[in-house]
Chains A and B, each alone.
Chain A
Amino acid sequence: MAARTLIHVPPNPKRGEVVEIRATLGHPMETGYRPDAEGRLLPRDIVTAFSCSFEGQPVFSAMLHPAIAANPYLAFHWRAERSGTLLLRWEGDRGFVHEERVTVKVA
């Protein structure tokens, strides 16, 4: 199944307006420290990096670690200067990569 995301970006901000971008990714964030029902250690499966860029320019990035809860939620601010596309990218263990694009039209 494709990764599930909830992304909130105001679609039509005013030029120069500072908007809040909110992004949730559906992900178990398995720490690698938990045993399963048989007592075997569950292998680590977490998201290790998140980045958001606007037309190639970095907006925000973060490193994620095992103590972060499942379905990581990140919120950050961005000044909308012109219309374009925001690229949100999550990377994680076992080659996990997920990208979402959001088009923003500055009013």
Chain B
Amino acid sequence: MRPTLRAAALLLAGGTALAQSAGSDGRRSGFDDMSPALQALQRDDTQNPGQLWVREGEALWSQAPASGRACVACHASATLTGMAARFPRWDDKRQRPLTLAARIDQCRVQHQQAAPQGPDGAQVLALSAYLGARSRGEALRPDGTPALAPWAARGEALWTQRLGQLNLACTHCHDQRAGGKLGGATIPQGHATGYPAYRLEWQELGSLQRRLRNCITGVRADPWPPGADEWLALETYLARRAAGLRIETPAVRP
């Protein structure tokens, strides 16, 4: 592409913050492969069912719990924009990666004396949807701390490792056959830009870990236990793989 054309393409991409643009490197969000009707459903906040969770999270954010502090008591509203784009981050204290959902759970346990819920707990889901939506349109720029490199490498190894009775690795569908068909559905490149996302198949909002679990059982493998290091490694790798793509939370997916 000539430089002037590329500049024009960048301008266009910037102008339509929600419309993902296939980058010059060929990476595409799952959004680009959806039908126009589904794309409209995601774009329009008055129709996107994920907004139910976003609104709930917004209310939870400033609501003081029975004991402890409300989120807003510590985190100033101005700091929220773009925050979700930097996860998973390195947790120095626990010496492991920290996803946004795990960070929310940590805060809930520490400052609100609540029981941990995991990434698909009602409140964690609502708060991650709210924080994700506050970063909508921002480019993913995950933490580059060197300590995360072995986790990303392990994630990449899992990405290419054959699993299950079908003996398939993630890479066989989402790298080698992306854009092709699996049954009636278009195979996406598997960039996790819109989580937690509203999947029509689930008829509700769900976390990236839940989506990954679906793929693992899809190749007829035994999924790792909830919260296992494997999920964390995959999430760390996927964030780096999608770095630079724009956040769409709450995304709608078929």
Contacts and interface: CB of A to CB of B under 8 A. Distances in A.
Interface stretch (A46-54, A69-77, A87-95): A69-77
Interface string A17-40: 000001010101100000000000
A6 interface: yes
Interface residues of A, number: 14
A70 B47 CA distance: 13
Interface stretch (B8-16, B50-58, B171-179): B50-58
A24 B52 CA distance: 8
A24 B55 CA distance: 12
B91 interface: no
Interface string B33-50: 000000000000011010
Which of B46, B55, B200 has the most C-beta atoms of chain A within 10 angstroms of its own C-beta? B46
A103 B249 CA distance: 30
A6 B44 CA distance: 12
Nearest to A69: B203
A59 to B, nearest CB: 18
Interface in B53-99: 55-56
A101 interface: no
A71 B52 contact: yes
A70 B200 CA distance: 9
B204 interface: yes
Interface string B195-238: 00000100110000000000000000000000000000000000
Nearest to B54: A6
14 contacts: A4-B52, A4-B55, A4-B56, A6-B49, A6-B51, A6-B52, A6-B55, A22-B47, A24-B47, A24-B49, A26-B52, A29-B203, A71-B52, A71-B204
Interface of B: 46-47, 49, 51-52, 55-56, 122, 200, 203-204
Interface of A: 1, 4-6, 8, 22, 24, 26, 28-29, 69-71, 73
Given A22-B47, A70-B203, A71-B204, 10 more contacts: A4-B55, A6-B49, A6-B51, A6-B52, A24-B47, A24-B49, A26-B52, A28-B204, A69-B200, A73-B49
